[in-house]
Structure 1
Amino acid sequence: MYRTIAAIALTLALNATHPAANASTKFFPTESQCAAIFKAAGDKYAGMWLGEDGKLVIGLTSPIELDTEIKQMLHIVYVQYSMAELQRFYKQIVIKKFNNNEYIATSQIDYKMNRIVITVQKENLLKAMSLFEGQGVDVKMMHFEAQHTTVTFMPLVDDGSCKGPR
């Protein structure tokens, strides 16, 4: 009996504190719905992440046709660059040309920001930007950040979102 009461209390607490627990629609797409998203998005796909409200956000470069049920699960945002464009730019420009540069502390693709993030020491920020511009690189696809603290590498946490085709 005490276990039943504890389970009910826990359920009520979760429902009160987490808005997703009260959602009438499914919280995340199923595997087949994820496949439908990737098929419909094709080269317009720009990433997927959890929004501040806990809803799954999908970045697209232009509108796509999706099933109404799937659309209700997602928040769609339109961005300038597709995932493929960001990855291609990152590999061909950032990694091949600037990977071991003394000014660059770290680099990564930030799909939510829809940019390549280049982190440099504060005193090297302008030097790093000039380095890319001097090589004729379109820096509109990049975001430069000054590093204020030491870098601590953390493992990636699975956010439960749809995984792209492998």
Structure 2
Amino acid sequence: MHHTIAFYNVENLYESGSNKNIGDLPFQGSRSWNISRYKNKLAKIAKTISRIGEEETQKLPTFFGLCEIENKKVIDELLEEFPFKANYGYVHKDSLDERGIDTAFFYNKEFFTIEDSEFIRIPIYNSDGSRDYTRDITYAKGKLENITIHFFVLHLPSKRENNINVSKRIHILHELRKKLMKFLIKIS
């Protein structure tokens, strides 16, 4: 059986006005974010995700990771928008990201059973030594057709302002590599 694995950056998927998190305020104010635009965005994202791999497998993706999603409420409302009901579970936790955005891992419960999950927080620092808070890496381990699979969903600090975050990106990837090497040692 074929399965689709997808990843999608949903680009600042914040609720509309009901939750005044610090990260929401600049987004809502500068882009006239409202319930109509929010609902429209949910429908478009759900349609896009549901079509990934459709031609090859004739079904919804078995797995997908999302980044730049605000919270559990947004995730639940997104899943309600899928063209037909799917039996998705997900792994998500609010991170300490300064904009209030997170990563999440989704899986079809019909095919995959979660055995473990973790939210990996890798400390990073600005050039002045102050702590910078970014998204956690969402980790999930489980069984697909009796095979153990590990998933990591991450969203690195943005490439912006003359690559100001390049050292942070490298540091996070280096730390994730260490974690992956520990997994490889355990299973070999």
Structure (1/2) with the larger strand percentage: 2
The higher radius of gyration belongs to 1
TM-score (structure 2 length as normaliser): 0.22
TM-score (structure 1 length as normaliser): 0.24
Structure (1/2) with the larger helix percentage: 1
